[in-house]
Chain A
Amino acid sequence: MLTVQILIDGFAISALYGLGAVGFTLMFGVSGVLNLAHGATMVVAAVTAWVVAGQYAANPWVAAVAGTVAGVLTAFATYLLVVRPIQRSSSVPAAEREIFVLTGTLLWGIMIQEAVAYFYTDNPKTVRPLIAGIMQIGGVRTPINELLIAVICWAVIGSLWLLVNRSKAGKVLLAASINPRALSILGFELSRVYLLVWTIYGVLAGIAGVLLATFLGASSAQASQLTASAFSIVVLGGLGSVYGSLLAAYVVGYLETLTAYLISPTYRTVPALVLLVLVVYVRPHGLLGRR
């Protein structure tokens, strides 16, 4: 009974973690950017869905789409207002570009978080489940929505896989992650590639944010925590490795669920953090990272 419960809850949470982390790692792999406004992007998507569903009494699916669009718009704003100006600035030395992008996106994330808190308070926002109802699995009452979340996450991750591995645009993305200079010599516009990757990132983070709102609820105060968990999952799996991130998402998701159920919810994040430190010490490039 408890085993089944842990298996189901862990699976849904891990799928959600995976979806959030995949966009983050894809972004790093292709454009070398670690977006510390990640959590804020998810929160914007979640709160937009909440506003559309609540104030305009819209269908939950419409609200979900609106939230995802908001995620994409936030991603564009992050790229155009913060990341691109830093990357193009001639007064930032190339060796320090990374830390400037980190600090810039961090500040931008705080600004988004504060703006959301100002207009919509930092209370957790819960969006109505996309499909209501409960079903019994092995004697455990499970909301159908929880299963739906896992299904949607995997469907999105699957279509991302198709996009990257089976389409021309995906090949361009892969090429950009391996050697951007060669790609631009071959006549591809790198800025378009980056816009594409920010679009994909926005869709992924947006969907993750909306699903989070239907599952656990999302609040602007959580933004930095969401960023930290995506960051640690991505590093655990290996920066830039999509498969590594998925594996790490499941390791972290189940580890947290196990700790919460078997020991105490207070210790929930501790084993995952200790594991992360150990892995980073022993294998700095993460579980499946390349270096």
Chain B
Amino acid sequence: MTDTIRALLTSRSVWIALVVLVVLSTLPWVVSAYILGVLTIAYYFGVFAMSWDLLFGFANEVNFGPTFLIGTGAYAAGLLNAHGVPMWVCLIAGGAAALLGGVALAVPALRLTGPYFGLTTLVAVLLLQQFIVIFASSTGGEIGLTMNDILSTEAITNYWYALAFMTVCGAILFTLSRSPVGLILQASGQDRIGASALGFNVVKHKLAAFCISAVFSGLAGAMMVFYLGTASVGTVVDVSVGVQVIIAAVLGGRRTIVGAAIGSIFLILAGEALRPLGQLSTFVVSGIALLVILFFVDGLMGLLLRRREEP
């Protein structure tokens, strides 16, 4: 445990994350409420991307359906809230529902490898989307589900909630990734046979990673719908949302956790800054992400960490 703590203190990622956090926490006094709103969304996205990175970067499992976990959490919380359940119970229920969904998906899916695992997760998203549309009478269908409660009406309060939430989730996920468990995950992702020959239970660790990823995704999804005041397919379930999560994580630098959050903030802000381009903004953002993948394989964090290898 002390080794883990020492490793954290000497890790460059931690210092980068701290600098970024200090800058972000001064923003409420600097920028307008509109930009704070954009950043609030970006922070929830950051949690989505960090959870995805734990699964992909460390366990080496490509989850094409992050929005299955996010959407399950978001809609579980939303449906309960629509029946008058208090908000904090809904948030916990959202995390729990995503955990259940994650286990239901992971137990059979982890028997599969490579593209098959990815496809199963993708199909899970499509099915979830279909069911939400089919049971439109209770889920609101394509239009969405309106919440009874929202986190706050103040942009600044929402901003602090989101920033604190991202920081806590990021700290937990990062510590986990640098702990012995994270190392075992990384080993089983990179060389499954080697890791199991060393006596580690690969499936158990991957399942654990999937569960953790699911809980954080579901919780973040639930938080986000309570921020937005509405849960809709287009914001928490659609495949394109999942694609954005994946782009953010790869753009920020996979296998870094911190990078995933930075990538999300960059992606959302870039999308906002390019808004004057109108329809072409998605084109430009995808183009930038493609260039990063082609030329800076390790993403934005890779550029920052380049000079010295991580201890």
- A: which residues have CB within 8 A of B? 34, 82, 85-86, 89, 91-92, 95-96, 98-100, 102-104, 106-108, 110-111, 114-115, 117-118, 224, 228, 231-232, 235, 239, 266-267, 269-270, 273-274, 276-277, 280-281, 284
Q: When the two chains form their complex, are residues A270 and B127 in contact, meaning their CB atoms are under 8 A apart?
A: yes
A99 partner residues in chain B, CB cutoff 8 A: 56, 62
A111 and B247 in contact (CB under 8 A), knowing A118-B279, A274-B127, A276-B123?
A: no
Query: In the bound complex, what is the Cα–Cα distance between A118 and B282 (angstroms)?
Result: 11
* CB < 8 Å neighbour of B133 from A96, A103, A266, A276: A266
Interface of A: prevailing SS: helix
**Would you list which residues of chain B between 97 and 138 have a CB under 8 Å from chain A?**
108-109, 111-112, 114-116, 118-120, 122-124, 126-127, 130, 133-134
* Closest Cβ neighbor of A282 among chain B residues: B108
A232 partner residues in chain B, CB cutoff 8 A: 119, 123
Which interface residue of B112, B126, B190 has the most chain A CB atoms within 10 A? B126
B130 partner residues in chain A, CB cutoff 8 A: 267, 269-270, 273
What 7 A-B pairs have minimum CB-CB distances, sorted nearest first?
A: A114-B283, A107-B290, A110-B286, A91-B297, A107-B286, A111-B286, A281-B108
A228 partner residues in chain B, CB cutoff 8 A: 122, 126, 239
A86 partner residues in chain B, CB cutoff 8 A: 293-294
Query: In the bound complex, what is the Cα–Cα distance between A203 and B289 (angstroms)?
Result: 28
**Would you list which residues of chain B between 282 and 311 have a CB under 8 Å from chain A?**
282-283, 286-287, 289-290, 293-294, 297-298
Query: In the bound complex, what is the Cα–Cα distance between A108 and B283 (angstroms)?
Result: 9
Interface of B: prevailing SS: helix
Q: When the two chains form their complex, are residues A110 and B243 in contact, meaning their CB atoms are under 8 A apart?
A: yes
Chosen A-B contacts, 14 in total, with CB atoms closer than 8 Å, are A34-B115, A99-B62, A102-B118, A103-B246, A106-B243, A107-B289, A114-B280, A117-B279, A224-B239, A266-B133, A269-B130, A274-B127, A276-B123, A280-B119
Q: When the two chains form their complex, are residues A273 and B123 in contact, meaning their CB atoms are under 8 A apart?
A: yes
Q: Nearest Cβ distance between residue A10 and chain B, in whole angstroms?
A: 20
* CB < 8 Å neighbour of A277 from B120, B190, B287: B120
Q: When the two chains form their complex, are residues A111 and B287 in contact, meaning their CB atoms are under 8 A apart?
A: yes
Q: When the two chains form their complex, are residues B247 and A273 in contact, meaning their CB atoms are under 8 A apart?
A: no
Interface size, B (range): 35 or more
Q: When the two chains form their complex, are residues A235 and B116 in contact, meaning their CB atoms are under 8 A apart?
A: yes
A224 partner residues in chain B, CB cutoff 8 A: 239-240
Interface residue? B72 (CB, 8 A):
no
Query: In the bound complex, what is the Cα–Cα distance between A224 and B250 (angstroms)?
Result: 20
B287 partner residues in chain A, CB cutoff 8 A: 107, 111
Q: Nearest Cβ distance between residue A81 and chain B, in whole angstroms?
A: 9
Query: In the bound complex, what is the Cα–Cα distance between A70 and B122 (angstroms)?
Result: 29
Interface residue? B167 (CB, 8 A):
no
Q: When the two chains form their complex, are residues B283 and A103 in contact, meaning their CB atoms are under 8 A apart?
A: no
* Closest Cβ neighbor of A285 among chain B residues: B116
Interface residue? B232 (CB, 8 A):
no
Q: When the two chains form their complex, are residues A273 and B126 in contact, meaning their CB atoms are under 8 A apart?
A: yes
Query: In the bound complex, what is the Cα–Cα distance between A282 and B108 (angstroms)?
Result: 9
Q: When the two chains form their complex, are residues B293 and A266 in contact, meaning their CB atoms are under 8 A apart?
A: no
**Would you list which residues of chain B between 24 and 66 have a CB under 8 Å from chain A?**
56, 60, 62
* CB < 8 Å neighbour of B293 from A104, A235, A274, A284: A104
Q: Nearest Cβ distance between residue A191 and chain B, in whole angstroms?
A: 18
Q: Nearest Cβ distance between residue A119 and chain B, in whole angstroms?
A: 10
* Closest Cβ neighbor of A99 among chain B residues: B62
Query: In the bound complex, what is the Cα–Cα distance between A60 and B187 (angstroms)?
Result: 57
* CB < 8 Å neighbour of A107 from B112, B116, B280, B293: B293
Q: When the two chains form their complex, are residues A111 and B112 in contact, meaning their CB atoms are under 8 A apart?
A: no
A114 partner residues in chain B, CB cutoff 8 A: 279-280, 282-283, 286
A82 partner residues in chain B, CB cutoff 8 A: 290, 294
Q: When the two chains form their complex, are residues B282 and A277 in contact, meaning their CB atoms are under 8 A apart?
A: no
A115 partner residues in chain B, CB cutoff 8 A: 283
Q: Nearest Cβ distance between residue A189 and chain B, in whole angstroms?
A: 24
Q: Nearest Cβ distance between residue A78 and chain B, in whole angstroms?
A: 11
